[in-house]
Each structure stands twice: as structure tokens, then as C-alpha cells.
């Protein structure tokens, strides 16, 4: 197929509005062809394989294998450990250049030194110099706080510029058209950065305010929290930036816990998570439910607000002692207290807590939070009759929107569901209602309220007052010559 597509191909160049004569193309890939990206990736893979095989790269604790490189098209990051890695990398790229005629553009390359280099920094090829503050990769500045702040320097100006380009036609646009512009052309300026970085305080609120102002001509006839709801729920589907960011974060947890077994970045994420407060926890940070898996039961955290976190109602200073002495999981507690969680003296000695009585009270609280089946699993494990299986699936987590006790038609439709299988649209819709619940609770449906108001004013033969209150510029309703109310299309 590739031979057919690339046999006897010709291209033309455009100069000053005119096309040159066709000429034969004997090497390279065609610009704009859907196949070009895949062909380039295939041509680059031999180089990447050679680098993976010969460069030692970054060695992380609790990481299966070394971290050598990350590649996206022609943007490649290589992790080097010492001068030997640099020399090997230089030789590999030189040989690849001789074979393929492709060359490294050292002028557009950057080198970032991380950590302490006792023997001095390695010498770089191509006139490169080491940086300490950070670098830019795939359009995102990474590094120190000052470097990461560059990601947001011109965001507000870009949003203003984009909105200004559409301001001349806005009076002729429907509300639906305005939402399409805001969601697809304005909010999209943020997604690439927000997928991996948290924005500065107040930035999202500032951009959101500009988006809402663009939606309305002058007066804001409907609270913006209603605009964020989908059209089928009496909203306009305007993107809520804070909810979208929260959805991105929850989706990360979805993929980390329930993604495919060969997920490339899971091992790296696990190494990073284990360094959170130096607890050594990764997936167990979200292990808050009863489980039939002995493996995940023993991984249950005793801190971080988990199901077995009794620190707030137990011994003062217990949390600090658990973290300091690295007894932060049920497995570590069982190792000291036994499978029946009865050896308070051993736990007291391990934690350096003098009062055995207070430790006994804490053990009692932990046992209360374990189910009968879980206690049985611990006993079987203690007798050697049950073994842990690291391949067990992570316990299924259920999300419950914090709006179930609130009333109002605009909060209807929220429901709980499995974190592993919840669709991103449902997840986003639930987060929108949760973050805006205070403004949506007990709020009447706009269409219902308009109908009630219209019936009242019509019965009192005072439709002019109704038009003055609700019919401004016919944004919400129009009163016909026959004295009937016609709601705006976006309310239907």
C-alpha cells in the first residue's frame, strides 16, 4: 500500500499565488498526507530502539526498568545519567544521520540539569549548554515556578484577542453559535496546559467571566451556573472551566487505576505518588472501600482520610507517629499487631507511644472498620492459608455527587456510578452540578417560572408589565400580538 501511494509521486510549490511546474519526489514524506506521521514514526523507531538499548538513562527507585526517553513525533527527550550516556547518545545520532540523512537540530535543542552532579556536568555536543530553571517540551514550559508561570503569561490576552475577532458578528449570532465559539475556540486555548498543570489562582475565574460576558449582550438574564448545564436540562452547555479541570484530574485517576495493564506512564506516576508526603503509597491513596482482595486490603492506608484513618478520633499525635515510623498501611500494622490486631504492646513500641491503653483503643477502632470477611482474610493470611495476588484488579470505586440531599429541578439527574466505567460526559455533568450546587439548589426551572409568571400577568390583564420584566430584547420570551408567550428557542 505504501509503495502504491509513494510510486511516481509529484509535488508543486506555490510562489506568490502561482504554482510551479510539477517535480518528482524521491525521498521524504508528503506534507499534509495522513500517512506521513506514521511513516515518520516508523523511520525514527530504529534510532529510538538503539538509544533504549545503549543509554542507561534515569534510574528511579520502585521503577521497573530505566527511564530512557520520551518521544512524540520529532520531539524527543532523552534522560542521561553521566558523560558516558552523552557520548553514547552522540555516537548513535551520528550513525543514524549517516544512514538516514536526518540530523539533530542542536540549535533548537535544550539540556536541563536536574539534581546534584558531584563530578561536574557532562560536556554536551553541538554547542549545547546546561539549563537549571527548566525547558519547553510539546508547547509546555516545565521546571521551576518561574518557568511554569510562562505558560499563563499571555493567556488572558489571547482570550481577549479571540473574542475581539468575533465581536463584530456577535449581534447576529444565536446563543448556540456563541457557545460553539466559546467552547471550541476560546476554552480550547487552555486544555493543553491544563491537562498537566494547575493554573494560577484566579485565572480560570477571570477567563470564565470574559466568556459569560461574551455570551450576553448586556444584561445577564440567567445565572451563569444555569448556562453551564446541558441544553436538555435548560442550560446552554457553556463550558465550566473549573469543572473541566476537575474532570481531567478524575480521568487521570480513572486511567491510573483502571487503565490497561501495559499503560506506559503508570510506573512513572506510581514513583511520583509514592513520594507524596513520603508515605510510599500509590494506588492505595484511593483505596477507601471494602474489598475481597487480600492484596488491596493489606495496602489500605491508615492515613490520608481513608476508610481506616482513625487518627482524628484516636490518640493525639497518632498520625504523626504512623508517618514518622512508616506504619501507614494495614499490612505494616498487621506485621506489628498480628493478624487479629491485638498486640498493642508491639505497636506501642514500634511507634514510640508510651500509653499502651491508647494504642489498644486505636486497634479497637481499626477492627471496627473492618468487615467480618476482611478480618477472616487477615486470619487466613496470618496462618499462611491465603496469599496476596498483585494482579488483582483495583477495588471498584463509586462516585456519589454531593448534591443528593439538595432539592430543585436543576439538580435532578445526578447519580452515582463506578469510577472505572463512568463516561467522561456524565462525569463532567455531575462535577458541574456539584461545584455549582449552592446556586442551583431549589432554583426553579426557568421555563416553568416563565410560564407561571405569564399566567399570572395574563390573568391580571397586565401583559405590559410582563414584557417589561421578561421581554427585554426578546432574549427570553416574546409576547405575540395574540397575547401568547413564545419562549426563546434556547429555552425550548
Over the stretch 424-472, which tens digit does the pLDDT of each residue have?
888 998 898 889 888 887 766 666 566 656 666 676 677 777 677 666 5
CA dihedral 370, 375, 381, 382 (to 10 degrees): 110
Mean pLDDT of the 21-39 span: 81
Q: Is residue 421 very low, low, confident or very high in pLDDT (cuts 50, 70, 90)?
A: confident
Q: Can you state the percent helix, strand and coil of the chain, rounding each to 5?
A: 50, 10, 40
Would you tell me the crossing angle of helices 344-351 and 330-337 to the nearest 10 degrees?
Answer: 120
The three three-digit cell numbers of residue 26, written as one number: 524521491
Sign of dihedral through CA atoms 123, 124, 129, 133? negative
Q: Which helix (H) or strand (E) holds 322?
A: helix 318-324
Residue whose grid cell is 468575533: 166
Q: Residue 140 forms beta bridges with which residues? A: 137
Any idea which of 216-225, 314-323, 461-470 has the lowest mean pLDDT?
Answer: 461-470
Mean pLDDT of the 155-173 span: 91
pLDDT reported for residue 473:
56
Q: Is residue 488 very low, low, confident or very high in pLDDT (cuts 50, 70, 90)?
A: low
Please choose, from the candidates 163, 131, 134, the residue with its C-alpha nearest in 3D space to the C-alpha of residue 151: 134
Question: Is the pLDDT at 126 greater than 90, yes or no?
Answer: no
Q: Which pTM value belongs to this model?
A: 0.81
Any idea which of 100-104, 189-193, 424-428 has the lowest mean pLDDT?
Answer: 100-104
Give Cβ neighbours of residue 219 (< 8 Å, ≥ 6 apart). Answer: 472, 475
pLDDT reported for residue 193:
92
* 18 backbone dihedrals φ, ψ, rounded to 5°: -115, 160
Position with higher pLDDT, 173 vs 87: 87
Quickly list H helices, 343-477: 344-351, 356-368, 372-382, 424-435, 437-440, 446-459, 463-470
Q: How far apart are CA 287 and CA 395, in angstroms?
A: 7
Q: Is residue 89 very low, low, confident or very high in pLDDT (cuts 50, 70, 90)?
A: very high
Q: Is there a contact between 397 and 289 (Cβ–Cβ < 8 Å)?
A: yes
Residue 145's Cβ-count burial label (10 Å; 0-12, 13-18, 19+) is: exposed
Q: How far apart are CA 60 and CA 76, in angstroms?
A: 20
Q: How far apart are CA 235 and CA 223, in angstroms?
A: 10
pLDDT reported for residue 79:
92
Q: How far apart are CA 213 and CA 312, in angstroms?
A: 45
Most confident of 30-39, 164-173, 392-401, 450-459: 164-173
The three three-digit cell numbers of residue 377, written as one number: 482474610
Q: Is residue 490 very low, low, confident or very high in pLDDT (cuts 50, 70, 90)?
A: low
Amino acid at each position: 500500500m505504501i509503495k502504491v501511494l509513494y510510486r511516481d509521486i509529484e509535488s508543486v510549490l506555490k510562489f506568490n499565488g502561482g504554482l510551479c511546474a510539477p517535480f518528482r519526489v524521491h525521498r521524504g514524506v508528503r506534507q499534509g498526507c495522513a500517512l506521513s506521521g506514521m511513516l515518520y514514526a516508523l523511520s525514527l523507531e530504529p534510532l529510538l530502539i538503539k538509544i533504549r538499548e545503549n543509554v542507561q538513562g534515569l534510574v528511579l527507585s520502585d521503577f521497573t526498568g530505566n527511564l530512557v526517553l520520551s518521544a512524540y513525533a520529532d520531539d524527543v527527550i532523552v534522560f542521561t545519567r553521566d558523560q558516558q550516556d552523552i557520548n553514547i547518545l552522540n555516537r548513535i545520532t551520528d550513525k543514524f544521520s549517516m544512514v538516514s540523512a536526518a540530523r539533530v537540530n542542536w540549535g533548537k535543542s535544550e539540556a536541563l540539569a536536574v539534581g546534584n552532579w558531584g563530578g561536574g556536568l557532562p560536556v554536551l555536543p553541538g554547542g549545547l549548554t546546561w539549563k537549571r530553571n527548566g525547558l519547553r517540551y510539546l508547547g509546555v514550559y516545565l521546571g521551576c515556578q518561574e518557568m511554569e508561570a510562562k505558560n499563563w503569561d499571555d493567556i488572558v490576552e489571547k482570550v481577549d484577542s479571540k473574542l475581539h475577532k468575533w465581536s463584530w458578528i456577535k449581534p447576529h449570532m444565536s446563543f448556540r453559535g456563541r457557545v460553539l465559539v466559546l467552547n471550541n475556540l476560546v476554552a480550547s486555548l487552555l486544555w493543553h496546559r491544563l491537562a498537566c498543570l494547575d493554573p494560577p489562582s484566579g485565572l480560570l475565574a477571570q477567563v470564565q467571566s470574559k466568556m459569560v460576558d461574551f455570551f450576553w449582550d448586556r444584561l445577564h438574564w440567567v445565572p451563569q451556573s444555569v448556562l453551564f448545564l446541558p441544553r436538555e436540562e435548560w442550560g446552554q452547555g457553556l463550558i465550566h472551566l473549573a469543572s473541566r479541570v476537575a474532570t481531567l484530574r478524575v480521568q487521570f485517576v480513572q486511567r491510573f487505576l483502571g487503565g490497561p495493564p501495559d499503560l506506559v506512564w503508570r510506573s512513572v506516576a506510581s514513583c511520583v505518588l509514592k513520594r507524596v508526603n513520603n508515605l510510599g503509597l500509590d494506588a492505595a491513596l484511593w483505596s477507601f472501600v471494602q474489598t475481597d482482595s487480600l492484596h488491596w486490603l493489606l495496602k489500605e492506608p491508615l492515613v490520608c482520610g481513608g476508610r481506616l484513618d482513625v487518627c482524628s478520633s484516636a490518640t493525639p499525635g497518632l498520625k504523626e507517629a504512623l508517618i514518622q515510623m512508616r506504619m501507614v498501611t494495614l499490612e505494616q500494622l498487621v506485621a506489628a499487631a498480628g493478624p487479629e490486631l491485638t498486640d498493642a504492646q508491639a505497636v506501642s513500641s514500634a511507634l514510640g507511644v508510651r500509653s499502651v491503653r491508647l494504642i489498644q483503643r486505636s486497634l479497637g477502632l481499626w477492627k471496627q472498620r473492618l468487615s467480618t470477611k476482611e478480618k477472616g482474610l487477615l486470619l487466613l493470611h496470618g496462618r499462611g492459608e491465603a496469599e496476596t495476588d498483585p494482579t488483582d484488579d483495583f477495588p471498584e470505586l463509586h462516585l456519589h455527587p454531593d448534591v443528593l440531599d439538595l432539592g430543585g429541578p436543576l439538580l435532578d439527574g445526578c447519580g452515582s456510578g463506578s469510577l472505572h466505567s463512568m463516561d467522561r460526559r456524565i462525569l463532567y455533568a455531575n462535577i458541574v452540578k456539584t461545584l455549582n450546587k449552592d446556586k442551583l439548589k431549589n432554583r426553579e426551572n426557568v421555563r416553568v417560572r416563565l410560564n407561571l409568571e405569564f399566567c399570572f400577568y395574563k390573568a391580571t390583564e397586565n401583559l405590559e408589565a410582563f414584557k417589561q420584566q421578561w421581554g427585554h430584547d426578546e432574549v427570553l420570551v416574546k409576547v405575540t400580538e395574540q397575547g401568547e408567550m413564545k419562549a426563546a428557542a434556547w429555552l425550548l
